[in-house]
Chains A and B, each alone.
Chain A
Amino acid sequence: MASLVIENVKKRYGQTEILKGIDISIEAGEFLILVGPSGCGKSTLMNSIAGLEDVSEGRILIGDQDVTFSSPKDRDIAMVFQSYALYPNMTVAENISFGLEMRKVPKDEREAEVQRVADMLQIGHLLKRKPAQLSGGQRQRVAMGRALARRPKMYLFDEPLSNLDAKLRVEMRTEIKKLHQKLGTTIVYVTHDQIEAMTLADRIAVMKDGEVQQLGTPQEIYDNPTNLFVAGFMGSPAMNFIPAKVVEHSGSYALELQATQPTLVPFPSADSLKAYAGKEILLGLRPEMITEPQPHKEGAEFVVKADIDVEVIEPMGADTMVLTRISDAEVNCRCNPAYPAKANETIAMMFDTSKAVAFDKDTGQRIDN
């Protein structure tokens, strides 16, 4: 268990800068999730933390020790690679126990550990096979097992569950969460899965083009994204971005949208919109904030009812997604399946802007905090 501090880390390959000054700091025992589009530098950052790539600039501290120039072995880190990287000439059992063997753990302890990990990952029946004889998901679990067999200061997981089927994935997710609660080891974890990110993380770092866009708790990232990119990246379906005009309204400011009719909606920190009076901004509103009219919310401060033109209906079981067009932007609304919305009809919806956010149209930055 150790804290992790990444200070202004830059990584260049020749002329191209892949990491452009990463600053991340997490407490000992925290679960950090890295998310970001493909190619944004997540794996590169993981490699840098592990010491497998030298950083071009900056410092990395594990515990309170500067490890920027330490060898991977001395950092006491276990990692699951995106490409599994199983040793092809060794059996599954040998793969799992190799790290223990290198660290001079006695043979009987190694065997017990292999058995424990294999049971947890449900690969007990595969222990004698070679990696080439395994499916992708099985290989991935062996890769997990290789890391979990050790008790390092920190785990690095690079998309460890990406190749598992849905059921196993959920099981493994729970297993990882339990493991983290039990051992309390610091974990850095890369994923493309929204649910994995939200459920596992103590903190999420959203990356783009080699920069951290925002570092915060899952709830902060979800409720308070610092810019359009973060807002659009987290959440599924994504946050709606509705062009809206800032208008003066009874001494403060409100936003004008074009639903079926022009509609005026209130905004929580309306004063922050002052500089944009008369101009257009982007209103960020999560789908679950546009619902069928709910009587108990009627008359609440930031709730407005308005008609919308339904374009498409997507039933999802628990909810039904209603697609519409507001101010010429596509908008998702999350409704109760019982609500009788039909394609190409007009129906009333309830807009709850109590958690709405506003972005500058040109820079994409938040303007209301």
Chain B
Amino acid sequence: MSNPAKRQTTALDKALRFGLYAMLIAMAAVYLAPFIVMLLTSLKDVEEIRTGTLLSLPGSIDFSAWSKAWSGACTGSQCEGMAPYFFNSFKIVIPAVAISTLLGAINGYVISHWKFRGSDFFFAALLVGCFIPFQVILLPMARTLGWLGIANTTAGLVMVHVVYGVAFTTLFFRNFYQAIPVELVKAARLDGAGFFTIFYRIILPVSTPIIVVTVIWQFTQIWNDFLFGVAFSGFDTQPVTVALNNLVNTSFGGKEYNVDMAAAIIAALPTLLVYVLAGKYFVRGLTAGAVKG
């Protein structure tokens, strides 16, 4: 009696499951298509690109576009490829991520465990910072950088990113630290530990998940930033995104799509790598709840 019914539901189950997978694969394909096109195009030569279709495979695998994009393509009047700008980006991103993460951690620690008069207001004000569009702070920031004497420098860009990012990092850390019982800090204070000792010995060691989340978030944001880069960088401090834009817009003779594509992939590689390496922790960190102890 129950068997046919059961068989029916399994058949239905199978169909549903099939549909589900079909949909997932289709969606994955849609998301992957641009990247596949970029990759294929970067491996073709200019002739093949002109004659073939977007998705046709390259006749022979040819990395010359990649080496040109890396070290020979012209970005404006300079013809040194993406390499110098790639390193420029690292020079901006690494300190900016490190400083904004550290500041966010300390801010979050203070807001959730060392409440002071007005700390809630302070936090609310900081939250507003998350909603301020980039464009709004361009002019005031330009003035500030000029006034500080760090306009068009790497230090200047680092500062812009730290200032803009600290609202987000503080929010991340504050929410995470909110779940750490206040008694933990109280116990440590009675044990005789001070502000920084508690932070360093007790709070930081349990912060790994949120540090990973924040670092990934900040890294991606800052690496991918174009607006601040184009507005505040000097001639030789341009980040990779700005260089990519210049490379694509500079053409002598025919458009070299293969070089453009290779350059675009190069520009995207670090963020891609960060996700592949730490994506697991990212998801885990976002969903990590209370620190039980």
Please indicate the chain A residues that have their CB under 8 angstroms from the CB of B190 in the complex: 50, 52, 72-73, 77-79, 99
Given A81-B183, A132-B292, A132-B293: A89 and B205 interface contact (C-beta under 8 Å): yes
Measured CA separation A10–B194 after assembly (Å): 27
- Tell me how far the C-beta of A249 lies from the nearest C-beta in chain B, rounded to whole angstroms: 58
Which one, B184, B192, B201, contacts A85 given CB within 8 A? B184
Check B187 against A85 for contact (C-beta < 8 Å).
yes
Q: In the complex, what residues of B have CB within 8 A of residue A88's CB?
A: 184, 206, 291-293
Give the complex CA separation of A131 and B188 in angstroms.
Answer: 15
Beyond A89-B206, A99-B192, A103-B192, whether A146 also contacts B187 by CB under 8 A is yes
Contact between A83 and B189 (Cβ–Cβ < 8 Å)?
no
Report the minimum CB–CB distance from B184 to chain A (whole Å): 5
CB of A87 within 8 Å of the partner chain: yes
Do B202 and A89 touch across chains, with their CB atoms under 8 A apart?
yes
- A85 adjacent to B186 (CB under 8 Å): yes
Q: Is A93 an interface residue (CB 8 A)?
A: no
Chain A residues closer than 8 Å to B184, beta-carbon distance: 85, 87-88
Q: A85-B181, A85-B183 are in contact. Are A98 and B293 (CB under 8 A)?
A: no
What per-residue 1/0 map shows which CB atoms of A122-134 lie under 8 Å from chain B? 0000000001100
Asked whether A79 and B187 contact (CB < 8 A) given A87-B293, A89-B202, A102-B192, the answer is: yes
Most chain B Cβ neighbours within 10 Å, of A72, A73, A79, A87: A87
Task: Tell me the nearest residue of chain A to B291, going by C-beta.
Answer: A88
Question: Could you tell me the distance in whole angstroms from the C-beta of B176 to the nearest C-beta in chain A?
Answer: 13
Query: What residue in chain B is nearest A86 (Cβ atoms)?
Result: B293
> Counting CB contacts under 8 A, is B9 at the interface?
no
Partner of B191, one of A89, A102, A132: A102
Tell whether B71 is near chain A: CB-to-CB under 8 Å. no
**Whole-angstrom distance between the alpha carbons of A164 and B166 in the complex?**
45
- B191 → chain A closest CB, angstroms: 4
Docked pose: A81 CA to B86 CA in angstroms: 53
- Set of chain B residues within 8 Å of A138, measured between Cβ atoms: none
Q: How far is the CB of A259 from chain B (nearest CB, A)?
A: 52
- A88–B179 Cα distance when bound, in Å, is 13
Count A-side interface residues using an 8 Å CB cutoff.
25
- Contact flags B165-205 to A (C-beta < 8 A → 1, else 0): 00000000000000001011011111111100100011001
Give, as a whole number of angstroms, the nearest-CB distance from A77 to chain B: 6
Pair A52/B293 contact, Cβ less than 8 Å: no
Query: Which B-chain residue is minimally distant from A158 (CB atoms)?
Result: B183
A354 contacts across to B, CB distance below 8 A:
none
Q: Which residues of B contact A47 (CB under 8 A)?
A: 186
Which of B187, B188, B189 neighbours the largest number of chain A CB atoms within 10 Å of its CB? B187
CA distance A253 to B191 in the complex (A): 60
Report Cα–Cα, A73/B188, bound state, in Å.
9
Cα A73 to Cα B191 with chains together (Å): 7
B188 / chain A contacts, CB cutoff of 8 Å: 87, 98
Chain A proximity mask over B104-120: 1 for CB below 8 Å, otherwise 0: 00000000000000000
CA A131 to CA B187, docked complex, whole Å: 15
Give chain B nearest CB distance to A131 CB in angstroms: 5
Which residues from chain B contact A131 at a C-beta distance below 8 Å? 293
Q: Is the Cβ of B191 less than 8 Å from the Cβ of A52?
A: no
Expressed in whole angstroms, the Cα–Cα distance for A223 and B201 within the complex equals 50
Q: Which A-chain residue is minimally distant from B207 (CB atoms)? A: A89
Residue of B nearest to A102 (CB): B192
Chain B residues near A90: list those with CB within 8 A: 202
A83–B181 CA distance with the chains assembled, in angstroms = 9
Residue of A nearest to B194 (CB): A73
Residue of A nearest to B205 (CB): A89
A84–B186 Cα distance when bound, in Å, is 11
Once the chains are docked, how many angstroms separate the CA of A146 from the CA of B194? 18
Nearest to B183 among chain A residues (CB) is A85
Task: Flag B75-116 by CB within 8 Å of A: 1 or 0 each.
Answer: 000000000000000000000000000000000000000000
Residues in A136-159 with C-beta less than 8 Å from chain B = 146
> Closest approach, in angstroms, between the C-beta of A4 and any C-beta of chain B?
16
State whether B181 touches A73 (Cβ < 8 A): no
Q: Name A47's closest neighbour in chain B (CB-CB).
A: B186
Q: Could you give, for residues 256-293 of chain B, a 1 whenever the CB lies within 8 Å of some chain A CB and a 0 otherwise?
A: 00000000000000000000000000000000000111
Within A98-126, which residues are at the interface with B (CB < 8 Å)?
98-99, 102-103
* Min CB gap B72→A, angstroms: 51
Name the distance in Å between B272's Cβ and chain A's nearest Cβ: 32
Bound complex: CA A14 to CA B293 (Å): 30
Task: Name which residue of chain B comes closest to A73, CB basis.
Answer: B192
Contacts of B189 in A (CB 8 A): 52, 71-73
Docked Cα-Cα span, A78 to B187, in Å, equals 9
Give A80's nearest chain B residue, CB to CB.
B187
Taking the closest CB of chain B, its distance from the CB of A54, in whole angstroms, is: 11
Residue of A nearest to B203 (CB): A89
User: With a CB–CB cut-off of 8 A, which chain B residues contact A102?
Assistant: 191-193, 197
Q: How far is the CA of A131 from the CA of B184 in the complex (A)?
A: 13
Q: Are A81 and B205 in contact (CB under 8 A)?
A: no
Give the chain B neighbours of A77 by CB distance below 8 A. 190
CB pairs A–B below 8 angstroms (11 shown): A50-B186, A52-B186, A52-B189, A72-B186, A83-B183, A85-B293, A87-B184, A89-B205, A98-B201, A102-B192, A102-B197
Q: Which residues of A contact B (CB under 8 A)?
A: 47, 50, 52, 71-73, 77-79, 81, 83-90, 98-99, 102-103, 131-132, 146
Extra A-B contacts (8), CB below 8 Å, given A52-B190, A87-B184: A78-B190, A83-B181, A87-B201, A89-B205, A89-B206, A90-B202, A132-B292, A146-B191
- In order of increasing CB-CB distance, the 9 nearest A-B pairs are A88-B293, A85-B183, A99-B191, A102-B192, A89-B205, A85-B187, A52-B186, A72-B189, A81-B183
